[in-house]
């Protein structure tokens, strides 16, 4: 059934691990419910950057918070166990520093007593807390990553909102093979788990083909810019550029390429392709860039008659002090909050296992801002919420869809 959602309807210093494993009996609250949930409330935590180079992603938390405020004002979420609960959402700033993600998570779990986490941003931050979430049996939903390493969990307590990176690499590599046979490829990536994983995936995708990776250039998130790396890529002879920069580094790198007159076929990561905040500020360097999406472009006026977009615009207008209507980063927070409501509605009990079971059995959930032919379909053995995407090209102002829906096989 297609459900349309609306507002009204550490043991270690960096990587957390569970000390002694999970004890379900001691974690339970009154009435057999787990910590963080009562008959009237459920506590959800988050850790993501609200300061530093990746501060733009703080809009995710602001939008989720505003959405839950609306849900609460309307009475709360009627859950599968028959009780209606309000969502208590608390987000903490980690400045995209995994060590701070660890500290924030410990605080949210051990001091605030949250029931689950959501919207944690970045591959390294999510991997830093993954063992802890696994050991304690705490859901970490809508992780803003697509890391392949989530497949290595014994139980899928961490579930990613972004498409799996291996799937992303295949989508992008197929586009290169079809549109630039015999290409020489250069890759820009952040020197972290996300970047290194994507390089590995692309090397595997192009192995044995007529596509050659001629240069891979890593930059440090604390380095200030990736200008020298872009110059090196230009000098390598690459005529296809896989740009896997994050945050402001994406804008800066696109600007630099234009400044030095390097005009390869440019593909940009789905996690950093926001039209208003990332692509438009890059100016001419962003024109004709290619990416993919599963969300409507909230900065594109051609969606103005779409019912889901109307709901978003009304929401953004109501919360204009915290949410900008044309901010696709905020749109992610709105969307994950809507899917979280669907997860809560599907819970038949009040334990974290009940939440995980619901999260892993969604079928046909269609948030307001998902593309018309794209829905959420999850499975117990695959910890990713997004499995369908469409290719698109940037025209200087907005992204234009260019192909059919592509689905993970």
From 137, 135, 113, 136, select the one nearest 29 (Cα to Cα).
113
Instruction: Report whether pLDDT(10) > 70.
Output: no
Q: What percent of the chain has pLDDT over 70?
A: 92
> What mean pLDDT, rounded, does the chain reach?
91
Structural element, H or E, at residue 284:
none
Cα–Cα distance between 72 and 337 in angstroms, integer? 12
pLDDT confidence bin for 9, thresholds 50/70/90:
very low
CA 405 to chain centre: 19
pLDDT for 385 equals 97
Q: Are 272 and 399 in contact (CB under 8 A)?
A: no
Q: Are 127 and 147 in contact (CB under 8 A)?
A: yes
- The CA distances from residue 406 to 41, 152, 244, 269, 389, in Å, are 38, 25, 20, 16, 5
pLDDT for 221 equals 83
pLDDT confidence bin for 299, thresholds 50/70/90:
confident
Question: What is the residue whose two structure tokens read 């899917």?
Answer: 339
Per the rule left: phi > 0, alpha: psi between -120 and 50, beta: everything else, 331 is: alpha
Tens of pLDDT, residue by residue over 160-201, are 999 999 999 999 999 999 999 999 999 999 998 889 999 999
pLDDT for 22 equals 42
3-class secondary-structure state, position 6:
coil
Compute how many other C-beta atoms are within 10 angstroms of the C-beta atom of residue 402. Answer: 12
Q: Are 383 and 153 in contact (CB under 8 A)?
A: yes
What mean pLDDT is predicted for residues 320-337? 95
Q: Which residue has the higher pLDDT, 111 or 8?
A: 111
Cα–Cα distance between 308 and 314 in angstroms, integer? 10
Compute how many other C-beta atoms are within 10 angstroms of the C-beta atom of residue 327. Answer: 23
Which residues touch 395 (CB under 8 Å, ≥6 apart)?
287, 288
pLDDT confidence bin for 1, thresholds 50/70/90:
very low
pLDDT confidence bin for 247, thresholds 50/70/90:
confident
Cα–Cα distance between 152 and 387 in angstroms, integer? 18
From 367, 392, 303, select the one nearest 161 (Cα to Cα).
367
- The CA distances from residue 207 to 97, 266, 267, in Å, are 33, 20, 19
From 408, 397, 266, select the one nearest 328 (Cα to Cα).
397
From 298, 346, 281, select the one nearest 63 (Cα to Cα).
298
pLDDT for 23 equals 41
The model carries a pTM of: 0.84
Compute how many other C-beta atoms are within 10 angstroms of the C-beta atom of residue 235. Answer: 12
pLDDT confidence bin for 102, thresholds 50/70/90:
very high
Phi and psi, residue 68, nearest 5°? -65, -35
Cα–Cα distance between 25 and 96 in angstroms, integer? 34
pLDDT for 45 equals 98
């Amino acid at each position: 059934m297609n459900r349309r959602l609306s507002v009204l309807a550490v043991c270690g210093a960096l990587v957390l691990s569970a000390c002694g494993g999970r004890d379900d009996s001691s974690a339970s609250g009154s009435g057999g419910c787990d910590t963080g949930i009562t008959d009237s409330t459920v506590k959800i935590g988050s850790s993501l950057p609200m300061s530093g180079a990746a501060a733009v992603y703080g809009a995710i938390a602001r939008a989720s918070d505003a959405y839950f405020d609306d849900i609460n004002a309307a009475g709360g979420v009627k859950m599968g166990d028959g009780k209606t609960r309000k969502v208590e959402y608390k987000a903490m700033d980690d400045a995209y520093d995994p060590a701070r993600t660890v500290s924030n998570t410990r605080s949210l779990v051990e001091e605030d007593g949250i029931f689950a986490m959501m919207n944690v941003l970045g591959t390294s931050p999510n991997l830093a807390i993954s063992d802890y979430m696994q050991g304690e049996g705490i859901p970490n939903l809508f992780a803003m990553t697509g890391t392949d390493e989530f497949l290595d969990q014994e139980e899928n307590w961490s579930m990613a909102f972004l498409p799996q990176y291996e799937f992303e690499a295949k989508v992008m590599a197929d586009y290169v093979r079809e549109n630039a046979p015999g290409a020489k490829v250069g890759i820009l990536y952040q020197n972290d788990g996300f970047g290194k994983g994507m390089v590995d995936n692309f090397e595997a995708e192009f192995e044995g083909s007529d596509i050659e990776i001629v240069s891979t250039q890593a930059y440090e998130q604390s380095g200030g810019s990736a200008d020298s790396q872009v110059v090196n890529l230009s000098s390598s002879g690459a005529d296809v550029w896989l740009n896997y920069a994050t945050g402001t580094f994406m804008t800066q790198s696109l600007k630099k390429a234009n400044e030095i007159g390097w005009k390869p076929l440019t593909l940009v990561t789905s996690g950093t392709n926001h039209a208003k905040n990332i692509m438009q500020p890059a100016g001419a360097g962003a024109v004709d860039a290619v990416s993919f999406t599963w969300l409507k472009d909230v900065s594109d006026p051609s969606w103005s008659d779409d019912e889901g977009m109307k709901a978003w615009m009304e929401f953004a207008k109501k919360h204009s002090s915290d949410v900008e209507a044309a901010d696709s980063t905020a749109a992610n927070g709105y969307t994950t909050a809507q899917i979280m409501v669907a997860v809560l509605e599907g819970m038949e009990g009040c334990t974290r296992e009940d939440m995980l079971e619901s999260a892993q059995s969604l079928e046909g959930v269609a948030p307001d801002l998902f593309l018309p032919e794209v829905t959420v379909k999850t499975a117990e053995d695959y910890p990713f919420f997004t499995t369908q995407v469409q290719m698109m090209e940037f025209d200087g102002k907005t992204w234009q869809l260019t192909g059919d829906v592509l689905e993970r096989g």
